[in-house]
Amino acid sequence: MFGLEKKDARLLLLVAVLVAFAPFLLNPFPEGSAMAQFNAGYPDLMQRFVIFGIFAIGFNILFGLTGYLSFGHAAFLGVGSYAAVWMFKLLSMNVLPAIILAVAMSGLFALLIGYISLRRSGIYFSILTLAFAQMMFALAYSVLTPITGGETGLQLALDDPRILGTSQTAGGNIPVPGLFGLEMRDSAELVLGSWVFTFNVGYYFAAIVMLVSFYLSIRIFRSPFGMMLRAIKSNQQRLNYTGLNPKPYTLAAFVISGMYAGLAGALMASMDPLAGAERMFWTASGEVVLMTILGGVGTLIGPVLGAGAIKYMENIISKINSDILHGWFAFLPDGLEDFVVAIIYPFIGKGWHLTLGLIFMGVVIFLPGGLVEGGQRIAALFGRKKASDDDSGKSAKTEPAE
């Protein structure tokens, strides 16, 4: 299917099914119940799942295949956002031209930064990318304020020229991004008993883009180009001895990865037409590193799982407060209830980073392959159990009774 091997085609189909039915899968608890706090099936969060999944998929092409760890990839995320918003201001509110410009601009910046940074490897390469990203953050935050909006960010305005569109709606409001008449914020709700499922245009558009991005990453992983990147990661010095120059391949991987980041930035601006310098800060670059390692470096679906896990914790676990905890443990005696809440509270709410840190430490120590390795171990465990049951059944049938 689509030129993929059977295993990869099944993986792509699995991701497509999960993405299509996400509004149901992410809303397992009825509205108003005590567990509804853990529902994640609302449009804004689902959009973040797939957009940061694209960001992590692109980063994994560089880090997972070549072994080059970039600490400045958020710079391309910011460039993509700024380019998309400027396209909304000057041309039209159609998201396609904005995405095309964002990907092109991010690729250009990645080419310039990668050409310089890839002259070094290891920690020196990482520090160079971090330095470039911080310089771009400083430029966006203060020096290039007329272009970037400075600390307030770049926003749409009623007086934007917008050549192929209107500056304001009939009601005097700023138009919103859309795709050939469909607005990204349009939603439809399905009510089934106590469950409410929301189907959002912006989410499904971003999801389709993520599926295409995921498919392209599979083709890159399985291509001769991907094999060359693996050779670079395995032993670049030995590759040099063969007479092959790895620099064009690493630069190509860097540019492709930067274009993925720009695509994610454009989608963020398409869902919420605002671009700020904070998207280029070093913490955003560190976040995508965590996503990739948590999910599984060098795996296909790992970065998507890592992005989903971190964004879930950031948006769901961080909202649990002491009042919610007291409601959960109200059945306990007063003293015991307060004790349990006091033990759990530092790990949720504003302390969700502590929980993430502990999970990350556990993954690095016990599951170097990330969540993907954890799933493989569980599958292998059940596979061995099933095989042993089959063997025992066969023995019972073939061996005579004493």
Residues 373 and 224 in one domain: no
Residues 289 and 346 in one domain: no
Sequence-distant (≥ 6) Cβ neighbours of residue 167 within 8 angstroms? 158, 159, 160, 161
Give a yes or no: residue 339 inside a domain: yes
Give a yes or no: residue 309 inside a domain: no
- Which one is predicted more confidently, 382 or 17? 17
Residues 177 and 248 in one domain: yes
Confidence category of residue 381, pLDDT binned at 50, 70, 90: confident
pLDDT of residue 400: 44
pLDDT of residue 67: 92
Distance CA 243, CA 142 (A): 46
Interval 335-348 mean pLDDT: 88
Give a yes or no: residue 253 inside a domain: yes
Interval 63-84 mean pLDDT: 94
Residues 217 and 133 in one domain: yes
pLDDT of residue 228: 94
Residues 280 and 378 in one domain: no
Q: Is the pLDDT of residue 394 over 60?
A: no
Interval 48-77 mean pLDDT: 94
Interval 186-193 mean pLDDT: 90
Residues 276 and 355 in one domain: no
Among 301, 332, 360, identify where a domain stops. 301
The closest of 22, 144, 28 to 79, measured between CA atoms, is 144
Interval 166-172 mean pLDDT: 78
Compute the Cα dihedral for 141, 146, 152, 155 and give only its sign: negative
Confidence category of residue 35, pLDDT binned at 50, 70, 90: confident
pLDDT of residue 392: 57
pLDDT in tens, 120-139: 988 999 999 999 999 999 99
CB 337 within 8 A of CB 326: yes
Give a yes or no: residue 401 inside a domain: no
Q: Is the pLDDT of residue 335 over 70?
A: yes
pTM, 2 dp = 0.91
Among 260, 276, 301, identify where a domain stops. 301
Q: Is the pLDDT of residue 304 over 90?
A: yes
Q: Is the pLDDT of residue 398 over 80?
A: no
Long-range pairs for 341-348: beta carbons < 8 A, 24 or more residues apart: 348/317, 348/318, 348/320, 348/321
Give a yes or no: residue 228 inside a domain: yes
Give a yes or no: residue 294 inside a domain: yes
Residues 320 and 295 in one domain: no
Q: Is the pLDDT of residue 204 over 90?
A: yes
Give a yes or no: residue 320 inside a domain: yes
Q: Is the pLDDT of residue 220 over 80?
A: yes
Query: What's the chain's average pLDDT?
Result: 89
Structure token pair of residue 129: 């990318």
Q: Which CATH number belongs to the domain containing residue 12 in this structure?
A: 1.10.3470
Residues 38 and 122 in one domain: yes
Share of the chain above pLDDT 70, in %: 95
Residues 155 and 238 in one domain: yes
- Which one is predicted more confidently, 353 or 252? 252
- Of the given ranges (28-37, 38-47, 186-195, 333-342), which has the lowest mean pLDDT? 28-37
Q: Tell me the Ramachandran region of residue 151: left when phi exceeds 0, alpha when psi lies from -120 to 50, beta otherwise.
A: alpha
Among 301, 333, 368, identify where a domain stops. 301
Beta-bridged to residue 182, according to DSSP, are: 179
Domains held by the chain: number: 2
Alpha-helical runs (H) found in 21-118? 22-25, 43-66, 74-90, 95-117
Residues 152 and 273 in one domain: yes
Give a yes or no: residue 378 inside a domain: yes
Residues 320 and 296 in one domain: no
Residues 138 and 242 in one domain: yes
Distance CA 292, CA 8 (A): 19
pLDDT of residue 305: 93
pLDDT of residue 401: 41
Q: Is the pLDDT of residue 60 over 80?
A: yes
Q: Is the pLDDT of residue 395 over 70?
A: no
pLDDT in tens, 87-111: 999 988 999 999 999 999 999 999 9
**What is the extent of the structural domain holding 359?**
316-396
